[in-house]
Copies of this chain bind each other. A is one copy, B any other.
Amino acid sequence: MNITDLKQKVNPNEVSHQMYQLISQLYPICRSITGNGFRETLHWISKHIELTKHEVPTGTQVFDWTVPREWNIKDAYIKNSKGEKIIDFKKSNLHVVNYSVPIHQKILLDELNKHLFTLPEHPDWIPYRTSYYKESWGFCLSHNQLLELEDEEYEVCIDSSLENGYLTYGEYYLKGDKPDEVLISCHACHPSLGNDNLSGIALSTFLAKYLSQINLSYSYRFLFIPGTIGSITWLSLNESQVQNIKHGLVLTCVGDSGKSTYKKSRRGDAEIDKAVTHVLKHSRQEHDIIDFFPYGYDERQFCSPAFNLPVGCFMRTPHSCYPEYHTSADNLDFVKPQSLADSFSKCLSTLHILENNKKYLNQNPKCEPQLGKRGLYGAIGGQTDTKITELAMLWVLNLSDGDHGLLDIADRAGMSFDFINKAANALLKHDLLIEKPE
């Protein structure tokens, strides 16, 4: 089975239920850029694909950065003077500023307030805050909760640890016919946030799972890493192999109900940029194509100037562009199975293009070959209806001069890649094309 067969057979709606189930399993876990929450996440993913788990010791120098200490947390709460838990980590792991140092003390409201974060414009939601590279502690709570706090003494407890340990990440390598690689990367460090980025984790996992069942031309590498420090660590440890990466996608925020968005690679005209653009354009759905900018997710590192990899970012509504972003409202309800299905389908279509975007050489480049005598062409001429299939074959023949791949041809013809690919396959069968030698 190849990717064309897979694309026809797989039902993205069924896959989306598998994705949603994984998201539901991962949702309660308190992840961070290091620690057991990350390991537990990899454990669940491993039930679907044979993930390799890497552990990189605290203190390892990775380019300009240092692998930080491992953070683990058992419990956290704020008790009022009556000893009632008014904020409880066990109810939502967003309540603790991620990567908080341990603390256990009595504290007056004035002092406590300096460590509390809310969202006044969304008084029911708990914000998500982190403090990775500055020792600090804090609690996040709804603004309504904050307003109810009385001027009294509180007991604050964060039973966390920050100790030498490891940065953990997962990697899954799928060997194809050639060493050239497609990189699929997602950040897996956020705690109970559904769209950002359990959706990306689930999409990566199931793309990997389904691709593992078919013959592939490219090799595929899937990374499940903590944001920023994870991609920096991976690039630092794998610098010598980076040149194998011919195409790449960062997957993030792929489950909300918004339209699809593609952020181009720094190069702007890489094959992955053209492939995703083609898929979105021919989806006939509203979508956005945006230029690269050096902010966002791990494409920032993959596209740093010394690497400048052809890696774009596939998402739906971009980060910061939906109010639920980085709040407790990015929950399991915010992620829609049909959006997951659609994202899966578009990514698969993109990979289908990469796998099949070959250059062919027309074997009858002087004038058109006679399609009719091969049964490829309507023998009755003079009809006024546009013969769209023949036109696709004529486009492939006309542009298969060694300079144009099938995606170029599809774009110039204004036809879908699938259609042009089918036309090429018909011509191949009649020896009217050969694949261009490397």
Contact = CB atoms under 8 A, between A and B. Distances in A.
A129 B379 CA distance: 11
Nearest to A303: B398
A305 B400 CA distance: 8
Nearest to A322: B384
B394 A307 contact: no
Contact of A235 (B63, B367, B400): B367
Contacts of A63: 364, 366-367
B305 A399 contact: yes
Given A305-B399, A366-B63, A401-B305, A382 B300 contact: no
B133 A301 contact: no
Given A304-B366, A304-B398, A293 B413 contact: yes
Contact of A380 (B134, B235, B370, B390): B134
A362 interface: yes
Interface in A361-376: 362, 364-370, 372-373
Counting contact residues on chain A (CB < 8 A from B), the size range is 35 or more
A395 interface: yes
Interface in A117-143: 127-134, 136
Contact of A130 (B62, B366, B381): B381
Nearest to A231: B367
Given A365-B306, A386-B320, A134 B293 contact: no
Contact of A398 (B128, B294, B380, B394): B294
B131 A381 contact: yes
A391 B294 contact: yes
Contacts of A231: 367
Contacts of A228: 368
A419 interface: no
Contacts of A235: 366-367
**Which of A64, A232, A364, A386 has most B Cβ within 10 Å?**
A64
